[in-house]
A and B are shown apart, each in its own frame.
Chain A
Amino acid sequence: MIRPELVCPAGTPSAMRTAVDAGADAVYCGFQNATNARNFPGLNFTVPELERAVAHAHAGGTKVLLALNTFPPAGKVDLWKEAADTGARLGVDAFIVADIGVADYIARTHPDIRLHLSVQAAASTPESIQYYCREFNVKRVVLPRILTVPEIKLMADEIPCEIETFIFGNHGLMVEGRCSLTNYITGLSTNMDGVCSPAAQVEYIKDDEGNLSTRLGEYTIDCFSCNESAGYPTICKGRYLTPAHDGPYYAFEEPISLNLSTLLPDLMKAGVTALKIEGRQRSKAYVKSVVSAYRKAVDSIMAGQDPQISDLLALTEGQKETQGAFKSKTWR
Chain B
Amino acid sequence: MHLINIKVHMLQQPTVARMQHTESKPAIAGFLQRRPRWAPPAPLFLLQPVLRRIVQKIAENNPDMFGRLGPHYRAVFVIDPVNLPFVMLLRPDPDDLMLVARRRSEISEHDARISGKFLDLLMLVDGDLDGDALFFSRNLTITGNTEAVVCLRNALDDIDDSIAEEVADMFGRPGRAALMALRRMNEKRETQ
Partners in one complex: yes
Taking Cβ atoms with an 8 Å cutoff, the residues of A that contact B are 11-15, 17, 40-43, 46, 181, 184, 198-200, 202-206, 208, 212-213, 215, 218-221, 224, 226-232, 238, 240-244, 248, 251-252, 255, 281-286, 289, 314-319
B10 on the A face (CB < 8 A): yes
The answer to whether A205 touches B7 (Cβ under 8 A) is no
* Assembly CA distance A219 to B11 (angstroms): 7
A-B CB proximity, top 6 nearest: A42-B154, A42-B151, A199-B147, A12-B158, A42-B68, A286-B130
Q: Which of B93-101, B137-145, B171-179 contacts A (4 or more CB under 8 A)?
A: B137-145
* Assembly CA distance A43 to B128 (angstroms): 18
Given A43-B154, A215-B11, A318-B136, verify A204-B130 contact (CB < 8 Å).
no
Closest to B154 in A: A42
The answer to whether B147 touches A200 (Cβ under 8 A) is yes
Given A240-B7, A241-B9, verify A14-B160 contact (CB < 8 Å).
yes
Query: Which residues on the B side are within 8 Å of A181 (C-beta)?
Result: 3
Mark each residue of chain B from 54 to 81: 1 if its CB lies under 8 Å from any CB of chain A, else 0.
0000000000000111101000000000
* Assembly CA distance A244 to B69 (angstroms): 44
A263 to chain B, nearest CB (A): 23
B158 to chain A, nearest CB (A): 4
A197 to chain B, nearest CB (A): 10
Closest to A314 in B: B133
A152 to chain B, nearest CB (A): 27
Closest to A320 in B: B136
Residue of B6, B15, B68 with most partner-chain A CB within 10 A: B6
* Assembly CA distance A289 to B70 (angstroms): 28
B51 on the A face (CB < 8 A): no
B28 on the A face (CB < 8 A): no
* Assembly CA distance A177 to B51 (angstroms): 47
Contact among A204, A206, A230, A241 for B136, CB-based, below 8 A: A230
B132 on the A face (CB < 8 A): yes
B150 on the A face (CB < 8 A): yes
B5 on the A face (CB < 8 A): yes
The answer to whether A42 touches B136 (Cβ under 8 A) is no
Contact among A13, A40, A243 for B150, CB-based, below 8 A: A40
The answer to whether B136 touches A240 (Cβ under 8 A) is no
Query: Which residues on the A side are within 8 Å of B159 (C-beta)?
Result: 14
Beyond A42-B151, A208-B25, 18 additional contacts (C-beta under 8 Å) are A42-B69, A43-B68, A43-B154, A203-B143, A203-B146, A204-B142, A213-B11, A218-B10, A219-B8, A232-B132, A238-B8, A242-B6, A251-B6, A284-B127, A285-B130, A314-B137, A315-B130, A316-B133
The answer to whether A240 touches B151 (Cβ under 8 A) is no
The answer to whether B15 touches A42 (Cβ under 8 A) is no
* Assembly CA distance A203 to B71 (angstroms): 18
The answer to whether A282 touches B150 (Cβ under 8 A) is no
B166 on the A face (CB < 8 A): no
B160 to chain A, nearest CB (A): 5
The answer to whether B147 touches A244 (Cβ under 8 A) is no
The answer to whether A283 touches B8 (Cβ under 8 A) is no
The answer to whether B5 touches A244 (Cβ under 8 A) is yes
B69 to chain A, nearest CB (A): 7
Contact among B3, B129, B137, B146 for A285, CB-based, below 8 A: B129
The answer to whether A284 touches B157 (Cβ under 8 A) is yes
The answer to whether A283 touches B3 (Cβ under 8 A) is no
